Protein backbone atom coordinates (compact mmCIF):
# COMPACT_ATOMS: atom_id res chain seq x y z
CA UNK A 1 0.00 0.00 0.00
CA UNK A 2 1.31 3.44 -0.89
CA UNK A 3 1.91 6.03 1.83
CA UNK A 4 0.22 9.41 1.70
CA UNK A 5 3.27 11.05 0.25
CA UNK A 6 3.64 8.47 -2.49
CA UNK A 7 0.00 8.98 -3.44
CA UNK A 8 0.42 12.74 -3.27
CA UNK A 9 3.43 12.41 -5.54
CA UNK A 10 1.26 11.50 -8.48
CA UNK A 11 0.28 15.11 -8.86
CA UNK A 12 3.75 16.44 -8.15
CA UNK A 13 5.84 15.32 -11.09
CA UNK A 14 7.00 18.82 -12.04
CA UNK A 15 8.02 19.57 -8.46
CA UNK A 16 9.97 16.36 -8.26
CA UNK A 17 11.74 17.21 -11.49
CA UNK A 18 12.74 20.61 -10.17
CA UNK A 19 14.18 19.04 -7.06
CA UNK A 20 16.02 16.51 -9.23
CA UNK A 21 17.60 19.40 -11.11
CA UNK A 22 19.47 20.18 -7.92
CA UNK A 23 21.07 16.75 -8.44
CA UNK A 24 19.64 15.57 -5.17
CA UNK A 25 17.13 12.81 -4.59
CA UNK A 26 15.59 12.74 -1.17
CA UNK A 27 14.30 9.56 0.30
CA UNK A 28 11.21 9.84 2.46
CA UNK A 29 12.66 9.19 5.90
CA UNK A 30 14.66 12.03 7.39
CA UNK A 31 17.48 11.60 9.82
CA UNK A 32 16.90 14.01 12.66
CA UNK A 33 19.70 15.04 14.97
CA UNK A 34 19.76 17.58 17.73
CA UNK A 35 22.54 20.13 18.14
CA UNK A 36 22.49 22.58 21.02
CA UNK A 37 19.12 24.32 21.24
CA UNK A 38 18.25 24.06 17.56
CA UNK A 39 17.31 21.05 15.51
CA UNK A 40 19.65 19.93 12.80
CA UNK A 41 18.06 17.77 10.19
CA UNK A 42 19.63 15.86 7.36
CA UNK A 43 17.73 14.69 4.34
CA UNK A 44 18.66 11.10 3.75
CA UNK A 45 19.87 11.26 0.19
CA UNK A 46 20.39 8.32 -2.06
CA UNK A 47 22.41 9.99 -4.83
CA UNK A 48 24.87 12.13 -2.94
CA UNK A 49 27.41 11.18 -0.36
CA UNK A 50 27.33 14.21 1.93
CA UNK A 51 24.08 15.04 3.71
CA UNK A 52 22.35 18.36 3.13
CA UNK A 53 21.59 19.92 6.51
CA UNK A 54 18.33 21.62 7.25
CA UNK A 55 18.37 23.65 10.42
CA UNK A 56 15.55 25.24 12.32
CA UNK A 57 15.75 28.40 14.37
CA UNK A 58 13.53 31.18 15.66
CA UNK A 59 12.37 33.48 12.87
CA UNK A 60 13.69 37.02 12.68
CA UNK A 61 12.38 40.11 10.92
CA UNK A 62 14.85 39.42 8.12
CA UNK A 63 12.94 36.20 7.29
CA UNK A 64 9.58 37.86 6.72
CA UNK A 65 9.78 38.24 2.94
CA UNK A 66 10.63 34.56 2.56
CA UNK A 67 7.88 33.56 5.00
CA UNK A 68 5.41 35.69 3.08
CA UNK A 69 6.43 34.30 -0.30
CA UNK A 70 5.95 30.72 0.94
CA UNK A 71 2.54 31.55 2.41
CA UNK A 72 1.23 33.69 -0.45
CA UNK A 73 1.80 30.83 -2.88
CA UNK A 74 -0.90 28.91 -1.00
CA UNK A 75 -3.16 31.95 -0.73
CA UNK A 76 -3.28 32.02 -4.51
CA UNK A 77 -3.15 28.33 -5.38
CA UNK A 78 -4.63 26.32 -2.53
CA UNK A 79 -7.50 26.02 -0.11
CA UNK A 80 -5.16 25.04 2.73
CA UNK A 81 -5.53 28.66 3.86
CA UNK A 82 -8.82 30.50 3.64
CA UNK A 83 -7.05 33.78 3.03
CA UNK A 84 -7.86 34.91 -0.50
CA UNK A 85 -5.76 38.06 -0.82
CA UNK A 86 -1.97 37.78 -0.43
CA UNK A 87 -0.48 39.26 2.75
CA UNK A 88 1.45 42.48 2.29
CA UNK A 89 4.88 43.01 3.79
CA UNK A 90 3.35 45.31 6.42
CA UNK A 91 0.71 42.73 7.39
CA UNK A 92 3.42 40.10 7.77
CA UNK A 93 5.43 42.48 9.95
CA UNK A 94 2.37 43.11 12.16
CA UNK A 95 1.83 39.34 12.44
CA UNK A 96 5.46 38.90 13.46
CA UNK A 97 5.26 41.67 16.06
CA UNK A 98 2.11 40.12 17.55
CA UNK A 99 3.95 36.85 18.26
CA UNK A 100 5.85 37.14 21.52
CA UNK A 101 7.95 34.51 23.29
CA UNK A 102 4.83 32.52 24.21
CA UNK A 103 3.86 32.31 20.55
CA UNK A 104 7.04 31.38 18.69
CA UNK A 105 7.68 31.45 14.96
CA UNK A 106 10.36 29.13 13.61
CA UNK A 107 11.91 28.67 10.19
CA UNK A 108 13.59 25.76 8.44
CA UNK A 109 16.65 26.77 6.49
CA UNK A 110 18.71 24.95 3.88
CA UNK A 111 21.92 26.52 2.64
CA UNK A 112 20.80 29.89 3.95
CA UNK A 113 17.40 29.69 2.22
CA UNK A 114 14.12 29.57 4.12
CA UNK A 115 12.24 26.49 2.92
CA UNK A 116 9.46 26.38 5.50
CA UNK A 117 8.12 27.94 8.64
CA UNK A 118 5.85 27.17 11.54
CA UNK A 119 4.18 29.12 14.30
CA UNK A 120 2.09 28.90 17.43
CA UNK A 121 -0.58 31.57 17.58
CA UNK A 122 -3.23 32.50 20.12
CA UNK A 123 -6.22 30.22 19.64
CA UNK A 124 -8.58 33.04 20.60
CA UNK A 125 -8.00 36.61 21.80
CA UNK A 126 -10.11 36.23 25.00
CA UNK A 127 -7.84 35.89 28.03
CA UNK A 128 -9.14 32.60 29.38
CA UNK A 129 -7.97 30.90 26.18
CA UNK A 130 -4.37 31.88 26.97
CA UNK A 131 -3.09 28.29 27.40
CA UNK A 132 -4.46 27.16 24.02
CA UNK A 133 -2.57 27.72 20.77
CA UNK A 134 -3.15 27.10 17.09
CA UNK A 135 -0.29 25.72 15.03
CA UNK A 136 0.61 26.63 11.45
CA UNK A 137 3.17 24.93 9.22
CA UNK A 138 3.87 26.04 5.65
CA UNK A 139 6.60 24.63 3.46
CA UNK A 140 7.92 26.02 0.21
CA UNK A 141 5.74 24.16 -2.30
CA UNK A 142 8.72 22.30 -3.78
CA UNK A 143 9.65 20.86 -0.40
CA UNK A 144 6.53 18.92 0.55
CA UNK A 145 6.55 15.23 1.42
CA UNK A 146 10.17 15.08 2.54
CA UNK A 147 9.62 15.04 6.29
CA UNK A 148 9.98 18.78 6.81
CA UNK A 149 6.44 19.20 8.11
CA UNK A 150 7.23 16.50 10.66
CA UNK A 151 10.37 18.36 11.66
CA UNK A 152 8.62 21.70 12.12
CA UNK A 153 5.47 20.46 13.86
CA UNK A 154 7.57 18.25 16.14
CA UNK A 155 9.62 21.23 17.18
CA UNK A 156 6.56 23.43 17.67
CA UNK A 157 5.04 20.81 19.98
CA UNK A 158 8.25 20.64 22.01
CA UNK A 159 8.24 24.43 22.30
CA UNK A 160 4.56 24.45 23.27
CA UNK A 161 5.29 22.02 26.12
CA UNK A 162 8.30 24.00 27.32
CA UNK A 163 6.35 27.26 27.25
CA UNK A 164 3.61 25.64 29.32
CA UNK A 165 0.71 25.64 26.87
CA UNK A 166 -2.03 23.15 27.64
CA UNK A 167 -3.40 22.23 24.24
CA UNK A 168 -2.63 22.75 20.54
CA UNK A 169 -5.28 22.98 17.83
CA UNK A 170 -5.11 22.83 14.07
CA UNK A 171 -7.90 24.28 11.94
CA UNK A 172 -7.63 22.38 8.67
CA UNK A 173 -9.55 22.40 5.41
CA UNK A 174 -11.22 18.98 5.28
CA UNK A 175 -9.66 18.15 1.88
CA UNK A 176 -6.06 18.76 3.00
CA UNK A 177 -4.89 15.18 3.40
CA UNK A 178 -1.25 16.15 3.99
CA UNK A 179 -2.06 18.41 6.90
CA UNK A 180 -4.54 15.93 8.39
CA UNK A 181 -1.98 13.10 8.13
CA UNK A 182 0.74 15.26 9.64
CA UNK A 183 -1.39 16.18 12.65
CA UNK A 184 -2.65 12.61 13.11
CA UNK A 185 0.97 11.42 13.12
CA UNK A 186 1.55 13.54 16.24
CA UNK A 187 -1.55 12.27 18.01
CA UNK A 188 -3.96 15.07 17.14
CA UNK A 189 -7.58 13.90 17.29
CA UNK A 190 -10.36 15.25 15.10
CA UNK A 191 -12.73 17.11 17.42
CA UNK A 192 -15.06 18.93 15.05
CA UNK A 193 -16.21 19.17 11.47
CA UNK A 194 -17.75 22.43 10.32
CA UNK A 195 -19.64 22.16 7.08
CA UNK A 196 -19.32 24.70 4.25
CA UNK A 197 -17.94 27.51 6.40
CA UNK A 198 -15.45 28.56 3.73
CA UNK A 199 -15.84 29.53 0.07
CA UNK A 200 -12.79 29.78 -2.13
CA UNK A 201 -11.95 29.02 -5.76
CA UNK A 202 -15.66 28.72 -6.52
CA UNK A 203 -16.65 26.05 -4.01
CA UNK A 204 -17.80 25.53 -0.46
CA UNK A 205 -15.25 24.23 2.00
CA UNK A 206 -15.50 22.26 5.24
CA UNK A 207 -13.12 22.84 8.13
CA UNK A 208 -12.08 20.27 10.65
CA UNK A 209 -10.39 21.02 13.94
CA UNK A 210 -7.78 18.64 15.28
CA UNK A 211 -6.57 18.89 18.86
CA UNK A 212 -3.68 17.55 20.90
CA UNK A 213 -3.51 17.79 24.68
CA UNK A 214 0.05 18.38 25.87
C1 LIG B 1 0.96 20.07 5.35
C2 LIG B 1 2.49 20.08 5.24
C3 LIG B 1 3.04 21.05 6.27
C4 LIG B 1 2.99 18.65 5.53
O5 LIG B 1 4.40 18.66 5.52
P6 LIG B 1 5.22 17.55 4.70
O7 LIG B 1 6.66 17.78 4.90
O8 LIG B 1 4.71 17.51 3.32
O9 LIG B 1 4.77 16.22 5.48
P10 LIG B 1 5.76 15.05 5.92
O11 LIG B 1 6.60 14.66 4.76
O12 LIG B 1 6.42 15.43 7.19
O13 LIG B 1 4.69 13.89 6.18
C14 LIG B 1 3.97 13.79 7.38
C15 LIG B 1 2.98 12.65 7.26
O16 LIG B 1 1.92 13.04 6.41
C17 LIG B 1 1.77 12.11 5.35
N18 LIG B 1 1.42 12.86 4.15
C19 LIG B 1 2.12 13.87 3.61
N20 LIG B 1 1.48 14.32 2.51
C21 LIG B 1 0.36 13.57 2.38
C22 LIG B 1 -0.71 13.59 1.45
N23 LIG B 1 -0.77 14.47 0.44
N24 LIG B 1 -1.72 12.70 1.63
C25 LIG B 1 -1.71 11.84 2.66
N26 LIG B 1 -0.71 11.78 3.59
C27 LIG B 1 0.31 12.66 3.44
C28 LIG B 1 3.12 11.46 5.21
O29 LIG B 1 3.01 10.18 4.61
C30 LIG B 1 3.61 11.42 6.63
O31 LIG B 1 3.08 10.32 7.35
P32 LIG B 1 4.04 9.04 7.67
O33 LIG B 1 5.31 9.61 8.25
O34 LIG B 1 3.20 8.28 8.65
O35 LIG B 1 4.24 8.37 6.34
C36 LIG B 1 2.98 20.49 3.82
O37 LIG B 1 2.49 19.57 2.89
C38 LIG B 1 2.55 21.88 3.43
O39 LIG B 1 3.27 22.84 3.65
N40 LIG B 1 1.35 21.98 2.80
C41 LIG B 1 0.82 23.24 2.39
C42 LIG B 1 0.50 24.14 3.56
C43 LIG B 1 -0.45 23.49 4.52
O44 LIG B 1 -1.42 22.83 4.18
N45 LIG B 1 -0.18 23.74 5.81
C46 LIG B 1 -0.99 23.24 6.88
C47 LIG B 1 -1.90 24.32 7.34
S48 LIG B 1 -1.63 24.56 9.10
Residue whose CA lies nearest to ligand 1 atom number 5: 149
Ligand 1 pocket, residue 146 CB under 6 Å: yes
The predicted-structure confidence for 29-74, as pLDDT tens digits, reads as follows 343 333 333 445 555 433 333 456 899 999 999 999 999 999 999 9
Over the stretch 86-118, which tens digit does the pLDDT of each residue have? Answer: 999 999 999 999 999 999 999 999 999 999 999
- Residue 75 Cβ inside 6 Å of ligand 1? The answer reads no
Query: Is 153 a domain residue?
Result: yes
* 154 close to ligand 1 (CB < 6 Angstrom): no
Total domain count for the chain?
A: 1
23 located within any domain: no
pLDDT at residue 160 above 70?
yes
Mutating to test ligand 1, I would choose from 39, 70, 149 the residue with most ligand atoms within 8 A of its C-beta, which is: 149
Note the pLDDT tens digit of each residue in 78-88: 999 999 999 99
179 in ligand 1 pocket by Cβ < 6 Å? yes
Ligand 1 within 6 A of CB of 4: yes
C-alpha separations of 160 from 1, 73, 151, 192 in Å: 34, 27, 14, 22
Give residue 81's domain range: 53-213
SS3 (DSSP) at 50: coil
**158, part of any domain:** yes
- Give, as one character, the DSSP assignment of residue 6: H
Structural domain includes residue 94: yes
Asked if residue 190 is part of any domain, the answer here is yes
Determine the Cα–Cα distance for residues 143 and 211; give it in Å rounded to an integer.
25
Under 8 Å between Cβ of 120 and 168: yes
pLDDT for res 197: 98
Give pTM, 2 decimals: 0.85
Amino acid sequence: MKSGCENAGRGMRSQELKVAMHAVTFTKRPIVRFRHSSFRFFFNQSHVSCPMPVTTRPATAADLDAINAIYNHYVEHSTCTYQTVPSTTQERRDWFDAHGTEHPIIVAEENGQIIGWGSLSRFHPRQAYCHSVEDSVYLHHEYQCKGLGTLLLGELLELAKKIGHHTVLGGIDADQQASIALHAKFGFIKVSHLKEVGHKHGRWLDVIWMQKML
